[in-house]
Amino acid sequence: MIEAKNVWKKYGDQVVLERINVSVQEGEFVTLVGASGCGKSTFLKMLLGTETPSEGELLMDGKQIRDEPDRDRGIVFQQYSVFPHMTVLENVMATKAFARKGLTGYLFGESRKAAREEALHMLEQVGLSQSRDKYPDALSGGMRQRLAIAQAFLAKPRILLLDEPFGALDPGIRLDMHALVLDLWKAYKMTVFMVTHDIKEGFYLGTRLWVFDKRRDDPHAPGRYGASITFDLPVGKIDHTTYQQIDDQLRPTPVPDPVFMEKQNA
């Protein structure tokens, strides 16, 4: 479904990504991990169509990905993106209206009734039925993110891009969100790409994990080389050594603890 053939992305002199060669089948759940600033979001933006490769080809169903977002591709960001002046139910119904008629669309009669039914069902699935008449301001962070996820799934994109969707949430709520996203992914059978900083989350959620890292580095010219995909792993088949290797690679070099060092040297 998605194929990257020797994709490079540069901003001016800075090479962000280089030599990306991958193919993804419909229905896969790919998690993307890597050091901050190594180009994970840039890769998602190229899939979304808001950025284009500087070199190489990024294909969907064998055709160049369109350089503007469309209904085949949806995205959820770390900071929720919902309409503050609409209630929870109106927010979710708006997704249906936009999907049908474009940004100025309104729904009437039977189609409005059907959209309402569908929206109510989705709110039930994400556990927001009780809050359907509230405005986003009155929701917790986790509830707002549920709302953003409900909107994204209701639009039924073929590809769903999740850019650290749980990054701002407490660990307990993150676990609930994992279960929610896995349930919805199974029910809606879409292809998911999810950026996360949490390698455990990457292993738990995905069917496949990509590690972005630089294969080569020039300390005098940090922008000279870009990151590529250094590990492409089927999740669930990973041995402890590989896990440790990736974990070490992603962790910043620890700063020595001065008190500990003093004791060691005493």
Ligand X SMILES: Nc1ncnc2c1ncn2[C@@H]1O[C@H](COP(=O)(O)OP(=O)(O)OP(=O)(O)O)[C@@H](O)[C@H]1O
By beta-carbon proximity to ligand X, the closer residue of 75 and 94 is: 75
Retrieve residue 187's tokens. 């029910």
Q: C-beta of 106: minimal distance to ligand X in Å?
A: 35
Retrieve residue 203's tokens. 């292993």
Q: What is the DSSP string of 131-146?
A: GTTS-GGGS-HHHHHH
**Residues 6+ positions from 39 with CB-CB distance below 8 Å:** 9, 16, 17, 212, 226, 227
Question: Per rule CB under 6 A, is residue 206 in the interface with ligand X?
Answer: no
Retrieve residue 18's tokens. 């280089």
By beta-carbon proximity to ligand X, the closer residue of 15 and 148 is: 15
Q: C-beta of 111: minimal distance to ligand X in Å?
A: 38
Strand partners, 234: 208
Question: Per rule CB under 6 A, is residue 151 in the interface with ligand X?
Answer: no
Q: C-beta of 245: minimal distance to ligand X in Å?
A: 19
Looking at this protein, which amino acid is placed at residue 183?
D
Question: Per rule CB under 6 A, is residue 208 in the interface with ligand X?
Answer: no
Q: C-beta of 177: minimal distance to ligand X in Å?
A: 18
Alpha-carbon distance 106 to 97, whole Å?
A: 6
What is residue 85's three-state secondary structure?
A: coil
Q: Which of residues 1-60 bind ligand X (CB under 6 A)?
A: 11, 16, 34, 36-42
Q: Which of residues 70-89 bind ligand X (CB under 6 A)?
A: none
Alpha-carbon distance 134 to 152, whole Å?
A: 19
Count of residues in contact with ligand X, rule CB under 6 A: 10
Alpha-carbon distance 78 to 59, whole Å?
A: 26
Q: C-beta of 227: minimal distance to ligand X in Å?
A: 8
By beta-carbon proximity to ligand X, the closer residue of 37 and 105 is: 37
By beta-carbon proximity to ligand X, the closer residue of 36 and 265 is: 36
By beta-carbon proximity to ligand X, the closer residue of 11 and 106 is: 11
By beta-carbon proximity to ligand X, the closer residue of 126 and 192 is: 192
Crossing angle between the packed helical segments 109-125 and 141-154, to the nearest 10 degrees: 130
* Contacting positions for ligand X (CB under 6 A): 11, 16, 34, 36-42
